[in-house]
Amino acid sequence: MEDACKPVLNTGLRGVTIASTKISDVNGAEGKLVYRGYRARDLAGKTSFEEVVYLLLFERLPDRKALADFRQQIAEQRAVPEEILTAMKAMPTDALPMDVLQATVPMMASFDPDIRQADIDSTTRMAVRLIARFATIVAAWDRIRNGKAPIAPAPGLSQAANFLYMLNGEVPDDELAGFFDTCLVLHAEHSFNASTFAAREVASTKAHIYAAVTAGVGSLSGPLHGGANTRVMQMLLEIGDVDKVDDYVTRILDTGGVIMGLGHAVYQVDDPRAKILAPMSLTLGKRAGDTRWYDLSKALETKGKAAFKKKKGKDIFVNVDFYSASLYYYMGIAVDLFSPIFAISRIAGWSAHVIEELYGGAAAKPTLYRPESDYVGDYCGPDECAFVPMDER
């Protein structure tokens, strides 16, 4: 007989549907990712990040005029208040870039003229500011920590090209800017992943978008989530050579570690985004005249999958972070900026979800998320523990 009072344990909420959404669909069995009805793989390379942001926020692809207006709107919002740059300059130069990014989010709230409004229009304006400014902050931090002056955004450039320009002081060529744009498109949205759920959970209390996004950044920073792309590159650098892949894989699996960039909470096949990112990494390797990091990734994928299957008796697959790592490395980007780069894209998805959480759009649910937990702590016997006064402990 089942104990009716005993809670059903769905640890980690795996496989539990907790809300409806109209924003995206992830089909883990088929490896299908859909943004508002469109396959992400059909958007990649054909749309810009700005188009995808428009799609996520306004539920349709923009026409030429709408896109031009939206690009301008984003470009006008890119500059970060000088006071925030001053605060960043006071931070230790070895601060983690995700911490710096996270710290600036409530600061931006304090400078936002819309912060005391609570309607969909003001929240959308705040979302556009966040989306426009995340890239500015990440690029500025890299320059500040390296003793360089931040570069002001260039209004005529796309969000992707402008980020690389603000980072390096040079306007990237079309291939580089296009590849980076595709990376932003592919990382923009992924349904109820950990950081999006964190953001939605905060929004469910009716907190404002900056509060929700602060939680999103914190969640994304973890090595099991958006922090994985940085760890993938650190792993590749540690392995260093295709000949050392076998030993590395054996050591990690024998010591209960994880191979970064493999495995996913939802996909039971290769991540559809990794299939697009892998050839892009190879192209950039060839362009650099050194395919070593791509080759190493490929060897690690093959050997890691085989060793995992042998050890655990089941398959494991590459996720989005596996090939983005070598791709960003070939772009000359600092390894610890990979996760903040994830954030400058995923801010689009978080924003759409916060707006949906605050103002509806999908099927109604109780406003506040409030799961149950299964208490497995002490009761000191059949009743509660008798309180022990301080002097008697």
Ligand X SMILES: CC(=O)SCCNC(=O)CCNC(=O)[C@H](O)C(C)(C)COP(=O)(O)OP(=O)(O)OC[C@H]1O[C@@H](n2cnc3c(N)ncnc32)[C@H](O)[C@@H]1OP(=O)(O)O
Instruction: Rule CB under 6 A: say whether 321 interacts with ligand X.
Output: yes
- Of residues 249-288, those binding ligand OAA (CB under 6 A): 265-266
Instruction: Map residues 175-194 to x or -, x wherever contact with ligand OAA holds by CB under 6 A.
Output: ---------------x--x-
> Residue from 79, 154, 258, 334 that binds ligand X (CB under 6 A)?
258
State yes or no: is 264 an active-site residue.
yes
Calculate the CA 353 to chain-centre distance: 13
Residue nearest to ligand X (CB): 263
From ligand OAA, ligand X, none, which one binds at residue 340 (CB under 5 to 8 Å depending on kind)? Answer: none
224 binds ligand X (CB under 6 A): yes
Question: Residue 342's closest CA among 220, 224, 235?
Answer: 220
Q: Which residues contact 240 (CB under 8 A, 6 or more apart)?
A: 296
Distance, in Å, from the CA atom of 393 to the CA atom of 387, rounded to the nearest integer, reads 10
For the bound state, the minimum distance from the C-beta of residue 185 to ligand OAA, rounded and expressed in Å, comes to 12
The rounded distance, in Å, linking the Cα atoms of 116 and 109 is 10
- Compare residues 172 and 261 and give the one whose CB is closer to ligand X: 261
Q: Residue 100 is which amino acid?
A: V
CB of 56 to ligand OAA, least distance (A): 14
Task: Determine if 24 is a binding residue for ligand OAA (CB under 6 A).
Answer: no
How far apart are CB 387 and ligand X at their closest, in Å?
Answer: 39
179, 71, 114, 130 alpha-carbon torsion, rounded to 10°: 10
Pick 162 or 230: Cβ nearer ligand OAA: 230
Query: Nearer to ligand X by C-beta: 232 or 354?
Result: 232
The answer to whether 160 and 177 have CB atoms below 8 angstroms apart is: yes
- Decide: is 320 part of the binding site for ligand OAA (CB under 6 A): yes
Question: Which entry of 112, 270, 271, 321 is annotated as an active-site residue?
Answer: 321
Evaluate whether 294 touches 286 at the Cβ level (below 8 Å). Answer: no
Query: Among ligand OAA, ligand X, none, what binds residue 337 when CB lies within 5 to 8 Å by partner kind?
Result: none
Answer for the pair 356, 22: CB distance below 8 angstroms, yes or no: yes
- Interface residue with ligand X, options 259, 300, 325, 344 (CB under 6 A): 259
Q: Which of ligand OAA, ligand X, none does 266 bind, CB closer than 5 to 8 A by kind?
A: ligand OAA
Inter-residue contact 327 to 280 (CB < 8 Å): yes
Q: Closer CB to ligand X, residue 108 or residue 266?
A: 266
Cβ-contact 170, 157 below 8 angstroms: no
One residue of 260, 282, 296, 347 binding ligand X per CB under 6 A: 260
Least separation in angstroms between CB 261 and ligand X: 5
The residue from 28, 45, 81, 263 that contacts ligand X (CB under 6 A) is 263
Enumerate the H helices of 95-244 as residue ranges.
Answer: 97-111, 120-145, 159-168, 174-187, 194-203, 209-220, 228-239
Between CA 230 and CA 248 the distance in angstroms is 18
Nearest-CA neighbor of 142 among 341, 345, 342?
341
State the chain's maximal CA–CA distance in angstroms. 76
Percent helix / strand / coil, the chain, rounded to 5:
60, 5, 40
Residue 10 Cβ vs ligand X, minimum distance, rounded to whole Å: 13
| Residue 260 contact partner, candidates ligand X, ligand OAA, none, CB within 5 to 8 A by sort of partner | ligand X
Using CB under 6 A as the criterion, what x/- string covers residues 202-241 for binding ligand OAA? ----------------------------------------
For residues 382 and 151, give the distance between their C-alpha atoms in angstroms, rounded to a whole number.
66
Distance CA 291, CA 156 (A): 33
Stretch that binds ligand X, among 37-45, 128-136, 277-285, 311-319 (CB under 6 A): 311-319
Q: Which of 61, 67, 265, 335 binds ligand X (CB under 6 A)?
A: 265
Q: Which two tokens stand for residue 22?
A: 């109209």
* Token pair listed for 173: 């060529």
Looking at 264, 270, 271, 353, which residue is catalytic?
264
Active site residues: 264, 321
Write out the residues near ligand OAA by the rule CB under 6 A: 190, 193, 265-266, 319-320
Write out the residues near ligand X by the rule CB under 6 A: 224-226, 228, 258-265, 308, 312, 316, 319-321
